[in-house]
Amino acid sequence: MSVSYWRRERSPVRQPSCDVVIVGGGITGLTSAYELCQRGMRVAILERHTLGSGASSRNAGYLMRGMAESYALVCNHLGRDTAKLVWRFTEENLTLLIERYSIDSLDSFHRKPSILVAMSDSEAEELADSERLLCEDGFETHLVRSGSDSLWRSLQPTLALVNPHDAALNPWQLVQRLRDGLISRFGDLATIHENSEVVGFHPDPSGIVVRTERSEYPCNRVLVCTNAWAQELLPDLGARIKPNRGQMMALRAPGVRLDASYYLNRGSEYLRQAADGSIILGGKRTHREGEEQTASDATTPEIQSELERYAKMVLQCDFKVIARWAGTMGFSPDGLPIIARADAQPAEVWFCGGLTGHGMSLGAKTAQAAVQTMLGEIESPFPADRFREKEPPAGLEPAT
């Protein structure tokens, strides 16, 4: 989206100054605000629509360890140290959400393992290698060759790898819990401004001024948490983030039972059973990859038809589609987040994003690290200059 010249107030309202303006009111934006307020800083969140209206409330609700692709594959693509870092990050992400926000008290929260399923000998070999590497690196996991739920009965997988301590929930409930946690504890330090699209920033004698259609927000620092839409505000750094659409559906399928959150075809397809018994199914993006490289969140007949065919194969029963939707992910070149100061911007404009479909599993912990990096407490675990040093490997598939 954009704001026309005609709608930009000639004399915008000057808002009270704050320490940090956060652009984007999703999981990373809300968690970043909490981190800053913990340090006694005043924060304004500017969200161009409503909180969580992007991918934060449009995903399938997986809180998994690691990525949808196997540990062995990520070790091969990115190196074992990086793979270990990401897997630890995702474990700590879930711990952070439970300990700080008590998300395990939400009625949609389920402690349910996630399972990577192999349907071929080559995938099975990859999962066996992953199990060995994970155990060597201190992660709890195991392999299974059989199961009793609907997926195992219909597909008869070759092998599967279990992440035993993962979880799933309604992502919109998560966004609401993050908002409520912020306001209940730090309502005197944090303000949230919905329907406030940022059109730019410029230096000011007092620091930086962030401009929206109607107002100006003077601050000392800016943290951009817009993920797939990064390039709209950060033309240089944001150019590394490419929007990609993920499509999903919810089904009523009486008699179906799924005991885990499943990933198939190296994460290309995924399905789970929600707390209300409905089946959440998504994927098939790789079947029309060029068309799905878009910021649009509209569903398409082609992908939705593919998902219905897949549901018939996996569930092998009559079902009713009760909802169809899509969300826009922000892909980085190597599939990992980016935490970095933005080039060609005022000195204290920072970016946190590029979560590549792993925002539920990485978003809160990445936001915490972004605040620590911005304030000089740590070095960025995901710097942007890694792309300048060498040609990045092919990106990894999303887990949504």
The tens digit of pLDDT for each residue in 1-22 reads 677 888 777 789 999 999 999 9
**pLDDT one-digit tens code per residue, 115-148:** 999 999 999 999 999 999 999 999 999 999 999 9
Token pair belonging to 36: 């800053």
Give the residue from 68, 35, 43, 48 showing the smallest Cα distance to 360: 68
pLDDT of residue 398: 52
**pLDDT one-digit tens code per residue, 33-71:** 999 999 999 999 999 999 999 999 999 999 999 998 899
pLDDT of residue 341: 97
pLDDT of residue 8: 77
CATH architecture under which domain 15-389 falls: 3-Layer(bba) Sandwich (3.50)
The more confidently predicted of residues 344 and 398 is: 344
Residue 224: pLDDT band (50, 70, 90) is very high
Residue 103: pLDDT band (50, 70, 90) is very high
With tokens 């009625």, the residue in question is 107
Average pLDDT over residues 339-362: 93
HSE of 396 in the Cβ direction (CA atoms, 13 Å)? 29
Average pLDDT over residues 300-316: 97
Average pLDDT over residues 97-111: 98
Give the residue from 100, 88, 279, 89 showing the smallest Cα distance to 174: 100
pLDDT of residue 12: 92
Token pair belonging to 24: 């984007």
Give the residue from 359, 294, 292, 299 showing the smallest Cα distance to 323: 299
**pLDDT one-digit tens code per residue, 365-388:** 999 999 999 999 999 999 999 997
Which residues are 18's β-sheet partners?
Answer: 219
With tokens 């809300």, the residue in question is 30
pTM (predicted TM-score) = 0.94
Distance between CA atoms of 385 and 163, rounded to whole angstroms? 32
Mention every residue, 6+ apart, whose C-beta is less than 8 A from residue 301.
none
Domain boundaries, the chain: 15-389
**For the chain, give me the number of helices (H) and strands (E)?**
9, 20
The answer on pLDDT for 307 being more than 90 is yes
The answer to whether 186 touches 30, Cβ cutoff 8 Å, is no
pLDDT of residue 394: 53
The answer on pLDDT for 232 being more than 50 is yes
The answer on pLDDT for 390 being more than 60 is no
Distance between CA atoms of 276 and 270, rounded to whole angstroms? 18
Residue 396: pLDDT band (50, 70, 90) is low
Helix (H) or strand (E) holding 270: strand 269-273
The residue type found at 51 is L
Q: What is the CA radius of gyration of the chain?
A: 21
N residues, the chain: 400
pLDDT of residue 45: 99
pLDDT of residue 392: 47
Give the residue from 33, 124, 138 showing the smallest Cα distance to 83: 138
Helix (H) or strand (E) holding 338: strand 338-341
Q: What is the DSSP string of 168-216?
A: E--HHHHHHHHHHHHHHHHTTTEEEESS--EEEEEEETTEEEEEESSEE
pLDDT of residue 335: 95
CB atoms within 10 A of CB 289: 9
Give the residue from 266, 274, 94, 226 showing the smallest Cα distance to 166: 94
Average pLDDT over residues 317-341: 97
Give the residue from 147, 148, 141, 143 showing the smallest Cα distance to 166: 141
DSSP code at position 36: H
Mention every residue, 6+ apart, whose C-beta is less than 8 A from residue 95.
none
User: Whole-number mean pLDDT of the chain?
Assistant: 95
Which residues are 261's β-sheet partners?
Answer: 114
Average pLDDT over residues 206-210: 94
Helix (H) or strand (E) holding 167: strand 167-168
The answer to whether 253 touches 279, Cβ cutoff 8 Å, is yes
The answer on pLDDT for 169 being more than 80 is yes
The more confidently predicted of residues 318 and 395 is: 318
CB atoms within 10 A of CB 2: 8
Token pair belonging to 383: 């710097």
Q: What percent of the chain has pLDDT over 90?
A: 90
